[in-house]
Chain A
Amino acid sequence: MIRYLARRAAHGLLMLFGVSILLFLLFQAAPGDFLSDARVNSQISAETLAQLRVQYGLDQPLPVRYWQWLKSSAKGEFGYSFAYNTPASTLLWPRARNTLLLSVPALLISWLIAVPLGVFAAGWKGRWADRLFSSGTSALLALPDVLIALLALLIALKTGIFPVGGMTSINAQDQGTWAWLRDLGWHMVLPVGAIVIGSLAIILRHVRASIIELMDSSYMRAAEGHGLPRFKLLFGYALPAAANPLISLFGLSVALLLSVSLLIEVVMSWPGIGPLLLEAIMARDLFVVIGAVMLSTVFLVAGNLLGDVLLYAFDPRIRRQA
């Protein structure tokens, strides 16, 4: 168990290194930096600029900068935000928490909906329910996420039941923890719903496909031949057997969800990583950009690792290999 997980974790860590190196290479290739705008400003002298450049370490060659970034990441700072004059981590952590606040419930809800629905559709393949379901997912797949986000916003604006954007009401903090939590939950409904709608179709399709693949296998036919009821066949036999592809998909669905969440956060002004990333890009605050992308990758790697743990727990075949 430990060895298997250690191997998976090492792989994840290696991936993170690879991603960070890639990002730094891109960083190097980028024309201009945070200070290029200041160069046009006549108020700032060339000496000051040169000094700032030294202070921010922008005069160093790439490997040195990368090493320094690694050191600061080891301290948990993830480099330095030029625009806010703080370690990038002080910006990133609260945003990361907010993004998780959206994506974790969305992830759970999507899977809670997708698994039973997908299994049912696979079990009644080709019938009207399945056809309805297939056209539903096709329609959902074709709907751009941006539009889903805008429609959610429109619902908030038109009905007035849900708050329009943001994470909490202005005075929510003063009314005690309970009221604050309720307010937060109320703000979460629409963004979480939009993320679920944006990512559900793909998950559903994969669940259906992996169950259908199983249904053709000989042992499922044998079980069917023994006269087991359809329900038990699907949920008692097919679903556990499909654990392996489904759990691998779980890891991948984290990536999907994070991507959808970025857009929803931006449109619905949820203070997550997405809006921070955009702001940082506009301000050329590149360490924050790197930090935000790295964080999203960390979430993804963590999701995959969680998938591995689940797989280990559910699939005895893995245990024998390890």
Chain B
Amino acid sequence: MNAPTPAFSGLRSTKFGSKLTWAIWFLLVVHAVVVLAGFVAPYSFETQEREHPYAPPTRLHFVDCSGKFHFRPFVYVTKASENDLNEYQQDCSQPAGIEFFAQGDRYTILGMFTSTRHLFGVQSPASLFLMGTDGFGRDQFSRLLYGGQVSLFAGFVAAAFSALAGLLLGGIAGMYGGRVDDMAMRFAEIFITIPWFYLLIAVRAFLPLQISPLTAFLLVVSVIGIVGWSRPARLVRGVILSARERNFVLAARGFGASNAYLLKKHLMPLTFRVLLTQMAVLIPQFILAEVILSFLGLGIGEPFPSWGNMLAQAQQYHVLVSYWWMLLPGLAPVPVFLAYHSLAETLQERIKSYI
């Protein structure tokens, strides 16, 4: 057995450190790109190019048809071929260079900044579809970025919501103990007992189906939060139960501190580390939950993109077989999940080494 010896603990913590920074940086960049979707994406999420349904990813060129090399990457204008609408042909006479800070659709970032400049784009009649288009000729890459706003932040907000609910209920259960504790934990157990997707879908079932996108977002977030509060609650309760008997808490109590004061000032701060780790575990789960709800048509609806409702189009057999790029929204969460998983793992190991 090559068991880890204490001598390596210093080494190990730097390894944790680098892994942690890597994951955090990656997530920050992804979230920033998604928030700035309007700027980064060459098109808006609802721009339809009806002449380009199911267009494959546009090919970037450096060498033109006559074999000449160009430093600026460029694309050719494509047109659906006349005998087969699924086939697109490049028109060698119409090159269009990629422009940076190009003019395009109007967009608003965070409801504050409005602009028409995009990070990159091409002048029409050429078009730039980095990940192809869907059946309406909407740019998949742009929609993927906008969809990330929905999917990533739904997961994040829902996780924050259930962590908060868990903190409150778990805190109260751990602090007051006895019957309150029993009740709260039995209640939590009910939520854990039901298979997770079933509960998620059932809770969604009892809520209205036809709603506006913003309501849908809030609804999905609260449904996921409601379904997921029990695990953080249990963890918080455990921490508080053990911390309640520690000397500084007993001393504070001896000075006449009330339960509520103790909970707020001394006990809840102790749960911070556990909750943060739990968030890292929950967020990818909840992102997936949003993707699944929208995939099944129970979440965010058209025309607003979410990774789930984008992927739903791939359920049609002909789309699935012929247009591989329609599966990309299903791959989009993978790097994000990997980063969150590695974050959660390192945080968990850190907690273990603290105890």
Interface residues, chain A, with chain B CB atoms under 8 Å away = 15, 18-19, 22-23, 26-27, 29-32, 125-126, 138-139, 141-147, 150-151, 153-154, 157-158, 164, 215-216, 221, 224, 254-256, 258-260, 262-263, 266-267, 277-278, 280-282, 286, 289-290, 292-293, 296-297, 299-301
13 interchain pairs, CB-CB under 8 A: A15-B193, A19-B194, A27-B206, A32-B208, A138-B338, A142-B341, A154-B321, A215-B1, A256-B195, A289-B206, A293-B194, A299-B195, A300-B193
B189 within 8 A of A: yes
User: Shortest CB–CB separation between residue B293 and chain A, in angstroms?
Assistant: 11
Chain A nearest Cβ from B344, distance in angstroms? 11
Q: Tell me the minimal C-beta distance from B185 to chain A in angstroms.
A: 12
Q: A153 contacts which of B3, B190, B206, B320 (Cβ < 8 Å)?
A: B320
Among B1, B204, B317, B341, residue most surrounded by chain A Cβ atoms (within 10 Å): B1
| Nearest-Cβ distance from residue A226 to partner chain B, whole angstroms | 14
CB atoms of B327 and A259 under 8 A apart: no
- Please state if B206 and A26 are interface contacts (CB–CB under 8 Å): yes
How far is it, in angstroms, between the C-alpha of A31 and the C-alpha of B211 when the chains are bound?
A: 12
A150 to B320, CA, bound (A): 8
The answer to the question of B145 belonging to the interface, with a C-beta cut-off of 8 Å to chain A, is no
Question: Given A23-B202, A154-B321, 4 other A-B contacts at CB below 8 A?
Answer: A145-B292, A262-B201, A296-B198, A297-B198
Taking CB as reference atom, which chain A residue is nearest B320? A154
Complex: A259 Cα to B190 Cα, angstroms: 16
Partner of A142, one of B207, B320, B334: B334
- C-alpha gap A267/B314 in the complex (Å): 10
Nearest B residue to A224 via CB reads B1
B199 contact set on A, CB distance < 8 A = 293
| Shortest Cβ distance from residue A18 to the other chain B in the assembled complex, whole angstroms | 4
A216 to B198 CA separation, bound complex (whole angstroms): 38
Is B206's CB under 8 angstroms from A296's CB?
no
Contacting residues of chain B (198-216) with chain A, CB-CB under 8 angstroms: 198-199, 201-209
Cβ–Cβ contact B331 & A300, under 8 A: no
Q: Given known contacts A26-B206, A224-B1, A286-B206, is B190 in contact with A150 (CB within 8 Å)?
A: no
Closest to B326 in A: A150
Does B315 have its Cβ within 8 Å of any Cβ on chain A? Answer: yes
**In the complex the two chains form, is B197's CB within 8 Å of A144's CB?**
no
A61 CA to B337 CA in the complex, in Å? 45
| B83 interface residue (CB < 8 Å to A) | no
Q: B195 contacts A281, CB within 8 Å?
A: no
Are A259 and B338 touching (Cβ within 8 A)? no
- Do B320 and A15 have beta carbons less than 8 Å apart? no
**Contact-residue size bin, chain B (C-beta under 8 Å from the other chain):** 35 or more
CB distance from A159 to the nearest CB of B (A): 11
* B206 lies within 8 A of A150 (CB): no
Q: Please name all residues of chain A whose beta carbon is closer than 8 Å to the beta carbon of B54 when the two chains form the complex.
A: none
B296 touches A142 (CB 8 A): no
Query: Counting CB contacts under 8 A, is B62 at the interface?
Result: no
Interface check B97, CB cutoff 8 A? no
B320: chain A residues at CB < 8 Å are 150, 153-154, 157
**Binary contact track B116-135/A, C-beta < 8 Å → 1, others 0:** 00000000000000000000
Residue B298 at the A interface, CB < 8 A? yes
> How does the 8 Å CB contact mask read for B291-304 relative to A, with 1 for contact and 0 for none?
11001101000000
Question: How far in angstroms is the closest Cβ of chain B from A267?
Answer: 7
Contact call A281/B198, Cβ cutoff below 8 A: no
Which of A145, A146, A289 is most buried by chain B, counting CB atoms within 10 A of its CB? A146
Within 8 A of A (CB), among B297-343: 298, 308, 311, 314-315, 317, 320-321, 327, 330-331, 333-335, 337-338, 341-342
Q: Roughly how many angstroms separate A261 CA and B194 CA in the complex, as a whole number?
A: 14
Cβ distance A89 to chain B, nearest Cβ, rounded Å? 18
Across the interface, do B1 and A144 meet the contact criterion of CB distance under 8 Å?
A: no
Q: Which residues of A contact B315 (CB under 8 A)?
A: 150, 267
Task: Out of B201, B203, B291, B335, name the residue touching A278 (CB < 8 Å).
Answer: B201
CB distance B205 to A286 under 8 Å? yes
Contact A259 B196 (CB under 8 A): yes
Instruction: Give bound CA distance, A259 to B193, whole Å.
Output: 12
B68 at the interface (CB under 8 A from A): no
Q: Which of A15, A146, A260, A289 contacts B295 (CB 8 A)?
A: A146
User: For the complex, is B179 an interface residue (Cβ under 8 Å from A)?
Assistant: no
Q: Which residues of A contact B207 (CB under 8 A)?
A: 30-31
B66 interface hit (Cβ, 8 Å):
no
